[in-house]
Amino acid sequence: MAVSEVDLEDYTVYSQLSDEELLQIAVERSLTDIHLPPDSDQTTSAAAAAAAAASSSLAPTALAAPTQTNPNLRQRHPDPPKNLYYVPPSQPLPPDPPEVPNSANPPTALCQFLYQGFRRELSPLQALIINGDAEALMNLVRRRSSSLTDPDDEGWIALHEAAFYGQLQCVRILIRAHPDSVNRCNLRNQTALPLAAERGNVSCVDFLLKHGANPNIANKDRETPLLTACQHPNEAIVDLLLRSGAQVNHCCSQGLTALHEACRHGRPELCRMLLEAGANLQTKNIYGLQPFFIAAQHGHVDVIHLLAKKGADINGQAGDGASPLYEACKNGHVSAVEVLLSLRADTNRSTKSRLLPLHVAVQNNHIRIVSMLIPVTSRVRIRHSGISPLHIAAERNRDDILELLIESGFDINAKLSKERYRMYEDRRSTALYFSVYNGNLEAAEMLLKAGANPNLDVFNPLLIAVRLGWMDMATLLLRYGADVNAQISTQPSSFPSAILLTMECLPMLKLLLDNGCDVQACFNCPYGIKPHPATTRSCCPIEEMQVSGDEPPQRHIQFCEAVSSSSFYRVTGPIISMLLDYVCHVHLCSRLLEVLDSRSDWAPIKLKALPPHPLMQLCRLKIRYLVGVRRLKLLHTLPLPARLIRYLDYNIHCPLT
């Protein structure tokens, strides 16, 4: 029966039935309901309902608590905890797909939630309300059924269910039967009004307000119906609540107002309504975020324009010092950044960590925003920040942005501040070091071509390339003047540290020697032919490339100690043989002789060290010495025969024995 006016005396036909029997009949009728065209007669008599119940093939036990399926059903679990930091998703969740009527998905009210995603148990009363069966509900009202006002395990009564599912006829019946229930709260301190507002049930909200619903009752999170209506944006409901006296500047437990939520969703009309009702633009949430900040955070250009015209603080900072421009740059909202710049937002306002909008745009790889910020960002403020955008681009492998920054004239050799480089165990300080550490050959070459100095870091980048066996990277660094004789400060040695790091890779060792590595130092042993003391090394070179102020300086490692260790024993002979090609008169110490004597096939190596040496070898060494380490890479420019150049470059072998 279509119920237009409520008359409690019209429902005497079921007066002799118990509450359980009435609920049973209501559910059975819902399960056998047939979808009729809009113009068909849907009047259902009590006899028809009883006949349908009698002819139903479903067992009564199954009808008492039918299993329903509906993503819109109220979930029986606690709400998830609020985010510790208010960063709502940048994109709203996609709407539920529309239902397509067919044989497997008939468009009856019940089947619309039988064949959808979320499965849970429904009570008979809930099934009745979800089905909008006003006639059966009136039967329960006529019987003065206590089930209508008895709360469930979440404190919900029938009115909560009816408001939540948007069943206006049921809401009317329940309010008129129990007018004092209009402001009754569930366990989360929610009345029926915010439940209807959450679901966008405009007619239910209107009816509840007209019948005494209080628009300012807040739930346990201090969220009012107005805040809920803005969290699930609905201009019509917001208008009803404001006209009914809803407090527009009420804050929830996170300090959010309705205007914060309207800005988050980018609803300019909603924002305009709230502002006309007196919404405060300067209200901050618990993280110091004003509504304008929220709009910029999500890139809502129309809202940004509106709030700016109303006097919003376009540079209002969050608790961590982030500005609206900083947040828009971080999230890559190009249009929002353009608008903020046109409003003269401060591009040099930094966070508490002294980072600027340009830094965060580089970090998140927003190259269009970077190009907009470069001309309007102070280079002095960048220096005061202690970190250049070049560092961030190199660390994150943002090659396109790195090229843009180089072309814009940023200091290639800018170093991290002491505070920032101490964050890294290896105390890196230059952009070049980051690129080398990442193995980014293209970026490293870009920096070196632009004038990067490869010898500014505590640990020379060349040592990283050598240790990791990156021949191309090591060759590149050496070509641009990397110090081939650099030392590891935390593990000093009496010979170049690069040799210590590359003993397991003979091609890399030859590359270093060709570029002037000091070989003579390898044979300067203080013990000579005397017995050597026993030594043990506590850590490997890769571990030594870390700085710790708590450890005292270690004694210098001797080449003979390193090359005779068990880890290098296989290649000790070839290593010594290669080194002898780059020196003239040296004396092998007792430790090296002992190692060479351990294998018969290494006997020729001992002879290689003895004089006399070939004249060609002595001449080559003398010429290389006179040219100097820094200019060895220029040997090919000398006015000498090509064969001689190759010989000086060790590209032609000359027997030394």
**CA nearest to 129, candidates 208, 204, 26:** 26
Q: How many residues does the chain have?
A: 657
- For residues 543 and 488, give the distance between their C-alpha atoms in angstroms, rounded to a whole number: 11
* pLDDT tens sequence across 491-514: 888 899 999 888 888 999 999 999
Total domains present in the chain = 1
- For residues 58 and 143, give the distance between their C-alpha atoms in angstroms, rounded to a whole number: 26
Angle between helices 301-309 and 268-276 (to 10 degrees): 20
Q: What is the pLDDT of residue 538?
A: 45
Q: Say if 310 falls within a structural domain.
A: yes
pLDDT of 214 higher than 70 = yes
Least confident of 72-76, 325-329, 436-440, 566-570: 72-76
Highest mean pLDDT among 79-88, 212-221, 572-581, 597-606: 212-221
Q: How confident is the model at residue 105 (pLDDT cuts 50, 70, 90)?
A: very low
DSSP labels, 100-148: --BTTB---TTHHHHSSS-EEE--HHHHHHHTT-HHHHHHHHHTT-GGG
Above pLDDT 90, what percent of the chain?
56
Residue 233 near residue 300 (C-beta atoms within 8 A): no
Q: Tell me the one-letter amino acid at 223.
A: E
* pLDDT tens sequence across 155-189: 999 999 999 999 999 999 999 999 999 999 999 99
- For residues 623 and 364, give the distance between their C-alpha atoms in angstroms, rounded to a whole number: 52
Above pLDDT 70, what percent of the chain?
78
Tokens linked to 29 = 């009728």
Least confident of 52-56, 400-404, 582-586, 609-613: 52-56
Q: Say if 132 falls within a structural domain.
A: no
Q: What is the pLDDT of residue 272?
A: 98
pLDDT of 573 higher than 60 = yes
Q: What is the pLDDT of residue 625?
A: 81
Q: How confident is the model at residue 442 (pLDDT cuts 50, 70, 90)?
A: very high
Burial class of 146 by CB neighbour count within 10 A (0 to 12, 13 to 18, 19+):
exposed
pLDDT of 132 higher than 70 = yes
For residue 301, how many other CB atoms are within 10 A of its CB? 19
Q: Tell me the one-letter amino acid at 479.
A: R
The CATH number of the domain where 344 resides is what?
Answer: 1.25.40.20
Q: What mean pLDDT is reported for the chain?
A: 82
Instruction: Report the pLDDT averaged over residues 537-566.
Output: 63
Instruction: Report the pLDDT averaged over residues 476-500.
Output: 90
pLDDT of 154 higher than 50 = yes
Q: H or E stretch including 68?
A: strand 67-69
What 8-state DSSP symbol labels residue 483?
-
Highest mean pLDDT among 403-417, 475-489, 543-557: 403-417
Residue 264 lies in domain: 248-385
Tokens linked to 495 = 């010979």
Tokens linked to 201 = 């049930």
Q: Say if 524 falls within a structural domain.
A: no
* pLDDT tens sequence across 374-400: 999 999 999 999 999 999 999 999 999
Q: How confident is the model at residue 66 (pLDDT cuts 50, 70, 90)?
A: very low
Radius of gyration of the chain measured on its C-alpha atoms: 40
Instruction: Report the pLDDT averaged over residues 196-204.
Output: 97
Phi-psi region of 267 (alpha: psi -120 to 50; beta: other; left: phi over 0): beta
Least confident of 44-48, 152-156, 238-242, 277-281: 44-48
Q: What is the pLDDT of residue 613?
A: 78
Which residue is it, tokens 């490339």? 545
